[in-house]
A and B are shown apart, each in its own frame.
Chain A
Amino acid sequence: MSQLQARFFTENKKYAIDDVPFSIPAASEVADLSNVINKLLEARIADHKHVEFDFLVRGQFLRSSLASHMDTENISTEEVVEIEYVQKFTAPQPEECIMHDDWISSVEADSEWILTGSYDKTARIWSLEGKAVMTMAGHTDVVKDVAWVKRDGLSSLLLTASLDQTVLLWEWNSEQNKVKARHCCRGHAGSVDTIVVDPSRTKFCSGSWDKMLKIWSAVPTEEEDEVEEPNRPRKKQKTEQLGLTRTPLMTLSGHNEAVSAVLWTDAEELCSASWDHTIRLWDVETGEQKSMLTGSKVFNCISYSPLCRRLASGSTDRHVRLWDPRSKDGSLVLLSLTSHTGWVTAVRWSPSNQHQLVSGSFDNIVKLWDIRSCKAPLYDLAAHEDRVLCADWTDSGLILSGGADNKLYTYRYSAYVSDAGA
C-alpha cells in the first residue's frame, strides 16, 4: 500500500482548497502534507506565503506517518480519508522571567498586571513587563492563593489567602500605588489553600485544609462583622490585625479531606476538588451538594472551560484528566493526558481556545496540550529548574508559570490568528 485517497478541508476560508480527493503517499508525514497544501495554495493564490499546517484525522492530530496513524486509530484505508488541516500552532515565546524571593505559590494575571503569592508571606503585583509594582505584606504565614476581584478605573480589589487561616481583601490604587487591607476574612480552621471569585465579582469562595468551603462577600464595606468568638484570646490582637474582620456568608461542608481547589462553573454553581479523591458540585443558592465525581487519587487542581464545558483535573499521579461535570452516568473521565512524570499541580484551560490547556507539574515542566492530540502535548515549556506550583493563562494569550525555583516565567502564546475565534 503506497497511496491513499485523501480529501483536505479546513474551516479557515483563507486557506481553503478544492474539495477533491487526492492520492497521496501513505508514508507521508506532516511536513509532506504541509508541502502539498502549500503547493495547492500557491497554485490558487498568487501571493501565498509558506504556512506550516497541522493535520487532523478524525479529530486527532497527525503525529506520525499517515499510514501508521491510521493503523493505530483503526481507520480503513479503503475509503477516502477526510483530513482537516489547520495552521500550525506556533510555539509559546518566552517573554519574562520574574525573580521572587521565595517559592511562588500562586499567580493570577489580568490584561495589565500580574498578581503573585509567595512563600515569603507576601503577595506582589508586577507589570506585564516584569517590573515590581507593589508588595503586600500582611499575612503572618505563607500566601497560598491570590485572586483579582475587580478593577474600577485605577483602584483594584484583590484577594490573598494564606496558611495563617485568613483571606485578606486588599484595595490597590494603581495611580498612587497604595495598597490597603480592607477586610480580613476569618473563619477557617486550617490553611486557606484556594480562593476564587464568582463571575459577578461580588462574592468569592475559599477552600481550606479544614475540609470546608466558605463563601464570602467581596464587596468592601466600612462595617465590621460581629465575630462570635467567646473566650478566645484573639480579641486583644484584633486591633493589630489588618482590615476589618469579615465572616463567611455560607459554609459548605461535605468533603472528608482538605479542599485543594475550587472554582465557579457558572454564577450559581461551585465546583471543588479535594484530597478525598472527589470533585463535588455545589448549588450556591441552597448550599447543597449537587453531584460528585469520584477519582482514585488526590486532586491538586481543577480548571473549567466554559467553551467546551469540560473540567480538567490534575492529581497526585502524572495524569491530567478531563471530566464532564454534567454527565450522570458512564465513565466520568473523558480523557487522560499522560506525559508528565510527577504530580500535576496546576492546570488551566485556555480562555479562548476550547481545545487547549496548560498544565504544570512537579517534574519541572509546563506542558501545553491540545485535547485533539491526547498522546503527546503540543509543547513542553521546560524553563523551570524546580517544581512548578502554579500556572495561569490570560485572555490576552499570556501563559504564566511559577515554581519552587522562585521564578515566574511568562510566555506569549499567539494562537494562529485564523483559528482564534473558533
Chain B
Amino acid sequence: EDLSGFSRICSPQRGKLDKTAGTSSIEIMDVELGYSLQPVSLIALLPHAHFLLHSLSPSSCLAMCSQDIRNTVGNIPMEWYKDYPHIGYDLDGKKIFKPIRTKDELDEFLDKMENPDYWRTVHNKMTGTDLRLSDEQVDLVHRLQQGKFGDVNFNEYEPAIDFFSSEVMIHPVTNRPEDKRSFIPSLIEKEKVGKLVHAIKMGWIKPRRPKETAPKYYDLWAQEDLNTVLGRHKMHIPAPKMRLPGHEESYNPPPEYLLTEEEKLAWEQQDPEDRRVSFLPQKYSCLRAVPAFSRFIHERFERCLDLYLCPRQRKMRVNVNPEDLIPKLPKPKDLQPFPTTQSLVYRGHTSLVRSISVSPSGQWLVSGSDDCTVRFWEVSTARCLKTVEVSGAVKSVAWSPNPAVCLVAISYGETIVLLNPGLGDKFICSATDQLISSYEEPEESKEQSVQWTIAEGSDHEHGQRLILKHPKAVRQVTWHGKGDYLACVMPDDNSSLQVVIHQVSKRRTQNPFRKSKGMVQCVSFHPIRPYFFVATQRYVRVYNLIKQELTKKLMANCKWISSMAVHPGGDNVICGSYDCRLAWFDLDLSTKPYKMLRHHKKALRGVAYHKHYPLFASGSDDGSVIVCHGMVYNDLLQNPLIVPVKVLKGHTITHDLGVLDVAFHPSQPWVFSSGADGTVRLFT
C-alpha cells in the first residue's frame, strides 16, 4: 500500500523533475530503483531527498513528503497553515497541532554553533518537527550523492547474459513462423493510401517543396563586381608612414639634441601627450652600451592603435567656381516688357499722397492725399480732371474693379465715401447712380456698427453717393473682385472690430472676426476663391469665408508687415514689411516665405502685382520703386521665377518718407507710384 501510494503520487512528478537540472533527475531515478528494492529505507530516505532537492519547488518536495501518512492535507503549500495552530489533519480527521517551537534566530544560531548534530538535523515541514538523521540515513545520503545504489549489498555488476548482441546466432531467440497477415495487403492501409491518393489528385496535398539546397559554404566574393574591387583598390588609403628616426633617436646624438637639466625637468613635468618627443635623447659611448628599449611593446601598440582608430575616409574635394553657384537668372533684357523710365508726373497734391488706384479701364487714376483731397487724373496726359475735397486726410482710395459700375471708395478719418467720379462711359456712370438710388430699405433693419447714409447737397454734386461712418479710423479699403463687397481695416490693438466687410448692394456690414489676433495691417480678397487674407504685424492669415474658418497662417519672418498683394492667380502673396523686406509666399508650397527679397534700403510701404504681366513692384521709403519679374507657372512642379529687373527712382524723400503706394496699370506694363513729395509718377 505504501508503495502504490508513493508511485501514484510520485509518477506525475517525474516529468517536472526531469525538466529541472540533470543531477536531480538522476537522483530520482535512484530513488525509484531504491524503493523497489528497499521500501523501509526509502521512508527514511525521503526527508533526505527533500534535503537534497531543496532547490526544487516546494510542491515537489512535499510530494516526496506526502509519504508521511499521518497528515492528510495532501500536496498543498504548507504556508497555508502558517497562521493556524495546527498543521493538518490525521487519518481520523483530528487536527495535528504544530509542535511548540520557541526557537528564535539567536537560538537557531546557538544551536548551529553548539549542537554537534546540527548538520544532520532536518526540518520536516509536514509535521513541523526537527528530525535527526541516523548514521545509516546519512550514509544513504552520501551514497546517493555519490551516485551509488542505496542498498549497500546491491551489486550492479552481476554477470548477465547478452541476449541481443551484435553477433548473429544460428538459432533465433524465438522460432515463431511469420504471421499470415504479414503477407496479405492490409485493407486499412489500402483505404488510407486511397484517401491520400484522392487527396493528392484533388490537390489537397501538395508534394513537399524540394529543399533549397543552399551550399553551406560559398564564395563570398563570387558575385562581386570587378569594378568595385578595383574601386576599392583605388580608394585604398595607405597607412601613414612613420617618421624615420633622426638624430634625436641616435644612440649617440650630437650634443645639441641632448636635453639640458631644465629641459629634462620640463619634459618630465609635461603631460605625456603634450611632449614633443616621447623619449629622452640619450648618449651612449657605443652601440653595445645601448640597453634594450623598454617601451617597444608599448610603442608598437600605440602605433597599431593609431592605425586602427585613424578615420580612413576619403574627403572628396570639389573644385567649384563660385560663379557657378549663383543661380542662372535670365537677363532682365529678356524679360521685357517692364517699366524702365519715368514718363509722367502727376502734380497737384500739396501733401503726401497716401494711396492711388487705377480704374479698371486704365484710363483714369485716383489719388488720395493728406491735403484732404482726392484727385482724378487722366493717365495718358497727367491731366487732373477732377478734385474732390473731403474733411480729412485721405488714407486709402480704391476703384471698384467691376467695369459695369463707376465707383471709387475713399477712406478718410472714420468715414468711407463711395464716390461716383462720373468718368468713363456716361451710361455706366448714370447706371451706377441709378443703382444706388434704386436701393430699397429692407423691412427689418438690423442695428449695424456702421452707419450708411446717402450723400446729399453739395457732397452729392461732387460725386459722393454713400457715406459710411465707422466707429474707428479707417486705414484701408479694398474691393472684392466682383465689386460688391468692400473690406475695410480699422487697426486697433485688441479689439474684435478691426475688419469689417460691407456689401454695397444690400448696404450691409459684417464683422467677420470675433476675436482679435493682433493689430491688423491690411486685408485683401482672394481674386477667385472665397478666401480672405488678413495681415497682422507678423502673420498673414487666410480665412475661408464660406466655411468661416482659418485655412492657413503664413509666417512672414519679418517684424512688421506694411502691405500685401495677392497674385491674380491667387496662389501667391507678397508682403512688404517695415524692416526692408519683401516676402513672397507660395501658398501651395509652404507657410513660410518662398523668397525674401531685401533689395530696399528702407521700409517698404506698398507692393503690387500686375494683372496680366508677370510683374510685381514694391515702393519704399528710400524713394525707389523696384520692379521684379515674378513668373508664376501653371505647372505645379515649377517654382515661381523671381528676377529683380529695375530700380525706378524719381520721388524725392520728404520727411524720411519716399514712395507710399504703388499700383500697376491694368493693361499696360506701367507702374504708378505715389510719394511723400506730393506727386504721383508713372513709369513705363
Is A232 a contact partner of B343 (Cβ separation < 8 A)? no
Q: Which of B193-201, B216-224, B421-429, B458-466 contacts A (4 or more CB under 8 A)?
A: B421-429
Is B425 a contact partner of A210 (Cβ separation < 8 A)? yes
Complex Cα distance, B668 from A316, in Å, reads 11
Say yes or no: is A103 at the interface (Cβ < 8 Å to chain B). yes
Complex Cα distance, B427 from A8, in Å, reads 66
Say yes or no: is A119 at the interface (Cβ < 8 Å to chain B). yes
Say yes or no: is A323 at the interface (Cβ < 8 Å to chain B). no
> A245: which B residues are within 8 A, CB to CB?
none
Contacting B667 at CB < 8 Å: which of A119, A142, A275, A296? A275
Q: Nearest B residue to A229 by beta-carbon distance? A: B427
Is A362 a contact partner of B343 (Cβ separation < 8 A)? yes
Is A343 a contact partner of B343 (Cβ separation < 8 A)? yes
Which residues between 393 and 413 of chain A lie within 8 Å of chain B, taking CB atoms? 404
User: Given A209-B361, A209-B363, do A164 and B383 touch, yes or no (CB 8 Å)?
Assistant: no
Say yes or no: is B644 at the interface (Cβ < 8 Å to chain A). no
Contacting B337 at CB < 8 Å: which of A233, A296, A300, A318? A296
Say yes or no: is B557 at the interface (Cβ < 8 Å to chain A). no
Is B385 a contact partner of A275 (Cβ separation < 8 A)? no
Is A389 a contact partner of B426 (Cβ separation < 8 A)? no
Say yes or no: is A257 at the interface (Cβ < 8 Å to chain B). yes
> A103: which B residues are within 8 A, CB to CB?
381, 383
Say yes or no: is A190 at the interface (Cβ < 8 Å to chain B). yes
Complex Cα distance, B403 from A333, in Å, reads 35
Is A389 a contact partner of B381 (Cβ separation < 8 A)? yes
Is B667 a contact partner of A317 (Cβ separation < 8 A)? no
> B426: which A residues are within 8 A, CB to CB?
164-165
Is B383 a contact partner of A316 (Cβ separation < 8 A)? no
Complex Cα distance, B362 from A275, in Å, reads 11
> A143: which B residues are within 8 A, CB to CB?
none
Which residues between 371 and 419 of chain A lie within 8 Å of chain B, taking CB atoms? 387, 389, 404
Is A257 a contact partner of B343 (Cβ separation < 8 A)? no
Say yes or no: is A191 at the interface (Cβ < 8 Å to chain B). yes
Which residues between 240 and 291 of chain A lie within 8 Å of chain B, taking CB atoms? 257-258, 275
Candidate in B380, B382, B424, B427 with the most chain A CB atoms within 10 angstroms: B380
> B361: which A residues are within 8 A, CB to CB?
190, 209
Complex Cα distance, B382 from A191, in Å, reads 16
Is B427 a contact partner of A232 (Cβ separation < 8 A)? yes
Contacting B425 at CB < 8 Å: which of A190, A257, A387? A190
Say yes or no: is A189 at the interface (Cβ < 8 Å to chain B). yes
Say yes or no: is A298 at the interface (Cβ < 8 Å to chain B). yes
Complex Cα distance, B221 from A87, in Å, reads 99
Interface size class of B (residues with CB under 8 A): 20 to 34
Which residues between 414 and 451 of chain B lie within 8 Å of chain A, taking CB atoms? 424-427, 430, 434
Say yes or no: is B684 at the interface (Cβ < 8 Å to chain A). yes
Is A119 a contact partner of B383 (Cβ separation < 8 A)? yes
Is B343 a contact partner of A387 (Cβ separation < 8 A)? no
> A138: which B residues are within 8 A, CB to CB?
none
> B344: which A residues are within 8 A, CB to CB?
343, 362
Distance of B162 from chain A, by nearest CB (Å): 121
> A119: which B residues are within 8 A, CB to CB?
383
Is B343 a contact partner of A342 (Cβ separation < 8 A)? yes
Distance of A362 from chain B, by nearest CB (Å): 7
Which residues between 339 and 392 of chain B lie within 8 Å of chain A, taking CB atoms? 341, 343-344, 361-363, 380-383, 385
Complex Cα distance, B342 from A362, in Å, reads 11
Is A190 a contact partner of B424 (Cβ separation < 8 A)? yes
Distance of B42 from chain A, by nearest CB (Å): 120
> B425: which A residues are within 8 A, CB to CB?
165, 189-190, 210
| Chain A, interface SS category | loop
Complex Cα distance, B424 from A119, in Å, reads 16
User: Given A119-B383, A142-B385, A209-B363, do A298 and B668 touch, yes or no (CB 8 Å)?
Assistant: yes
Complex Cα distance, B519 from A324, in Å, reads 61
> B668: which A residues are within 8 A, CB to CB?
275, 298, 316
Is A317 a contact partner of B684 (Cβ separation < 8 A)? yes
Complex Cα distance, B421 from A10, in Å, reads 62
Is B381 a contact partner of A404 (Cβ separation < 8 A)? yes
Complex Cα distance, B668 from A164, in Å, reads 24
Is A258 a contact partner of B343 (Cβ separation < 8 A)? no
Is B343 a contact partner of A189 (Cβ separation < 8 A)? no
User: Given A232-B427, A387-B381, do A316 and B343 touch, yes or no (CB 8 Å)?
Assistant: yes
Q: Nearest B residue to A140 by beta-carbon distance? A: B426
Complex Cα distance, B361 from A405, in Å, reads 28
Is B363 a contact partner of A258 (Cβ separation < 8 A)? yes
> A233: which B residues are within 8 A, CB to CB?
430, 434
Which residues between 148 and 201 of chain B lie within 8 Å of chain A, taking CB atoms? none
Distance of A302 from chain B, by nearest CB (Å): 15
Interface string of A133-151 (1 = CB under 8 A from B): 0000000001000000000
> A190: which B residues are within 8 A, CB to CB?
361, 363, 424-425
Distance of A110 from chain B, by nearest CB (Å): 26
Distance of B7 from chain A, by nearest CB (Å): 114
Distance of B628 from chain A, by nearest CB (Å): 20
> B434: which A residues are within 8 A, CB to CB?
233
Q: Nearest B residue to A257 by beta-carbon distance? A: B667
Which residues between 660 and 679 of chain B lie within 8 Å of chain A, taking CB atoms? 667-668
Complex Cα distance, B666 from A275, in Å, reads 12
Which residues between 633 and 680 of chain B lie within 8 Å of chain A, taking CB atoms? 667-668
Complex Cα distance, B425 from A91, in Å, reads 45
> A142: which B residues are within 8 A, CB to CB?
383, 385
> A362: which B residues are within 8 A, CB to CB?
343-344
Complex Cα distance, B427 from A209, in Å, reads 14
> B684: which A residues are within 8 A, CB to CB?
297, 316-317, 343
Q: Nearest A residue to B381 by beta-carbon distance? A: A389
> B362: which A residues are within 8 A, CB to CB?
257-258, 275
> B381: which A residues are within 8 A, CB to CB?
103, 387, 389, 404
Complex Cα distance, B424 from A165, in Å, reads 9
Distance of A391 from chain B, by nearest CB (Å): 15
Complex Cα distance, B336 from A377, in Å, reads 28
Distance of A290 from chain B, by nearest CB (Å): 25
> B337: which A residues are within 8 A, CB to CB?
296-297
> A389: which B residues are within 8 A, CB to CB?
381
Complex Cα distance, B383 from A409, in Å, reads 21
> B427: which A residues are within 8 A, CB to CB?
189, 232
Distance of B651 from chain A, by nearest CB (Å): 18
Q: Nearest B residue to A164 by beta-carbon distance? A: B426
Q: Nearest B residue to A102 by beta-carbon distance? A: B383
> B343: which A residues are within 8 A, CB to CB?
316, 342-343, 362
> B363: which A residues are within 8 A, CB to CB?
190-191, 209, 258
Distance of B84 from chain A, by nearest CB (Å): 111
Complex Cα distance, B668 from A317, in Å, reads 13
Q: Nearest A residue to B684 by beta-carbon distance? A: A316
Complex Cα distance, B381 from A389, in Å, reads 8
> B382: which A residues are within 8 A, CB to CB?
387, 404
> A300: which B residues are within 8 A, CB to CB?
380
Distance of A298 from chain B, by nearest CB (Å): 6
> B385: which A residues are within 8 A, CB to CB?
142
Which residues between 313 and 347 of chain A lie within 8 Å of chain B, taking CB atoms? 316-318, 342-343
> B341: which A residues are within 8 A, CB to CB?
318
> A316: which B residues are within 8 A, CB to CB?
343, 668, 684
Distance of A408 from chain B, by nearest CB (Å): 16
Q: Nearest A residue to B667 by beta-carbon distance? A: A257
Complex Cα distance, B363 from A191, in Å, reads 10
Complex Cα distance, B343 from A407, in Å, reads 21
**7 CB-based A-B contacts, threshold 8 Å:** A119-B383, A165-B425, A191-B363, A210-B425, A275-B362, A296-B337, A297-B684
Q: A191-B363, A318-B341 are in contact. List 14 more A-B contacts (CB 8 A).
A: A119-B383, A142-B385, A165-B426, A189-B425, A209-B363, A257-B667, A275-B668, A296-B337, A297-B684, A316-B668, A316-B684, A343-B684, A362-B344, A404-B383
Report which A residues bind B (CB closer than 8 A): 103, 119, 142, 164-165, 189-191, 209-210, 232-233, 257-258, 275, 296-298, 300, 316-318, 342-343, 362, 387, 389, 404
Which 6 residue pairs of A and B lie closest in terms of their CB atoms, listed nearest first?
A189-B425, A316-B684, A343-B343, A209-B363, A165-B426, A257-B667
